[in-house]
Structure 1
Amino acid sequence: METTVINAAEFFAGIGLVRTALEPLGVNVVWANDIKEAKRDAYLANFPDAKDHFARSDIRNVKGEDLDKLPEIELATSSFPCIDLSLAGNRRGLVGDQSGMFWHFARVLEQMQDRPRPRVVLLENVHGFATSHGGKDLTEALERLSQLGYSLDVLAIDAKHFVPQSRPRMFIIGIMPADLPKNAHVGVPEISDVRPAWVTAIHKKHYEAFKMHYLDLPALPQGPSDLNAVIDREVPESAWWDDRRVKAFVDSLSDGQRIRFEALRKADQLSYRTAYRRTRQGVSMWELRRDAIAGCLRTTGGGSSKQALVELGHDREPRIRWMTPREYANLMGATDYKLLSGTPNQQLFGFGDAVVVDVVRWIGEHYLLPVLRPDTESEDE
């Protein structure tokens, strides 16, 4: 049976990976916004039909009446900037110039007058959101969303359950009370892989003060254990570093890192590892990940934010190169994403600043659709 589409607004849309995740589920993005021109261009290269509804502007200039002109929006997504909340950032929190954009997202929703507010909101950010300013920032954000009428749930999902990348993120899902499914619970959820102890503590602290709920969700999948499925096999030989650069890489390794490096190099099987450049006691050095998946992709603001790929095994000379935009896309679950716009660094930046497609699609399948289209499953069976 054909399902009625779900109209959505995509705040802080970036290169469009939320749309990539949800469009196959019947979500129709009728408005998208981002301030970065390069991200807009990448978005339009993959979704040309968005030309008429992609608003490239500072969200501070967006008003609720802009959304009132659109078809009724049932879902609003917001991957607002994390730089002020991240442990690797400046920790200014929601008073920061970047992460403080949350307040403008809430303002736009509040200003919607001619249309009902979206029935569901989905927010994504780093785990640091929960601890910023001793938890005060998260409390104020939950309070603001509650004032807008939403009942709230908090999830934590690491993308390693879907792709070979360690990328822990937290999600806040707000639902208008009239749309809460019958199986929604009030109180403190049990600890699970999507609600670890620190998430259940958030529910325990706030469920009586704010409108909060939780839904039962299935266990997360196991996830891949190596990088083989994401390696770009079309990389030219010239992309691999020369002997001098490889030697500099090896020479920078700590004693412990070198032991791991040599063990992998002498192993009977070929394997791949990712490496970051770190500064330890004022000295720049390379570090291999202990496991065989990638570290969390970052926005490429400098050399230390980019990951190198290291090929080791069969007692051969190691091969090392920077990871490519296609590999970044694969690590974000965007295997079919078209790399038609921007420089390689702009492409790396766009993926490092995005959501993992598989994670958002899982939330869509197991949470958003059962709320927004609760009869779909029973009708299809």
Structure 2
Amino acid sequence: MLVVDDEVNLRFAIERGLRRSGHHADSASTVRQAIERLRSKPYDTVVTDLRMPGGDGLELIQWLGSYSPSTKILVVSAYITPEIRAEYQHQASIGMLEKPVELAKLIALVEELGPRRGFYGNSIEVELFDYVQMVALSGRDKLVKIVTPIHTGHIWFEHGDIVHAEFESHSGEMAFYKLLAVGRGTFTEVFYTDPPKRTIMGSATGLLMEAARQMDEGTLGQDPAPEQAPVDDEASFADLNDDEDEVIVDDDEVAAEAEPPVDPNDPFDLRAPPPPPPPPPEPQNSATGLLDDPETRELMLGQFFEFEGVDGVAIISSTGKVLAESMGGNSSLVTLAGFYMRGAARIARSLGYNVFDGVIARSETGQQLVMVGMGATSAVLSIESGRNPEQVRDEIMGLD
């Protein structure tokens, strides 16, 4: 927590109260000092006054909204006007409290706002998942230190691929998945040194796709189920026959006492096996199931080639999985389309939308892509060089 107030007694009282409640707390007396602290250290929540010498608390709120939007804000002031309430009271990350302050209520509001979620770099607010994508595309060598509330981890990149990861007692892919599963912390690039060993052999793309799959299934970072030991039939048979008292059975006596054979057509013979269960219902059509059919797949891809300026199409799930594509064999572009698609879907969800429409992206090489929401799936279109992607997007969406 960072407490920003020019009233010394109140600032120290809030800071001391937060610490006694189990929170880490720092303080600043001006907006400028607060921004300096925020640039050097991540905070979950900023408790700020509005009227202070040398700067307005609204300036601090605007700065946080631009440079650290995941940081929660609690405004504590005697000058909360109806205009300020109208502008900020509906923001989930901002709380308001009138002075004079009741300390217990302030602490309750801070805890109600809760900690900010996600991994963020100190110099720029970017999700760790997205940062890994950027390093993978850049092809750089990097060593990244990740600090979480649980433990500190490290990830080594060589030419953009993750070659080693460490977190707690884990290394390799499991360490990477468990780091992501914590879901909260900060990361920084540190001086690069060679990894102590190479524990990850696949590409960063494959690692991210598997992490996305585990996220969707709710299994990210979970330890794999232990494999059952194989049954040794010979040992089991030996155990069954290793009794102290040997029993000798007369086959003739068993045959004489045997029951008549089971008649499966006799409804009164309770020994008859139950009828087989009915076949399971046919699965409902899903986007993945529909695209298993070659004709349907060609039809869905082909509808986008009718628009001038489209030279490649990929149909992709919200997790970035490519369900069907016709990108001319450009596998790197298909992978890039998957990353763009997943990022656009995350942005849409953060804004409260389940789908998105008409998102335009551009790669480092200048390749332009248009993403069009299709419900459960989305189409990512490669636009011909020299074409205006906005015009292509509007034509596809039927906009004037």
TM-score, length basis structure 1: 0.23
Q: Which has the higher strand share?
A: 2
Which structure would you say has the larger Rg? 2
TM-score, length basis structure 2: 0.22
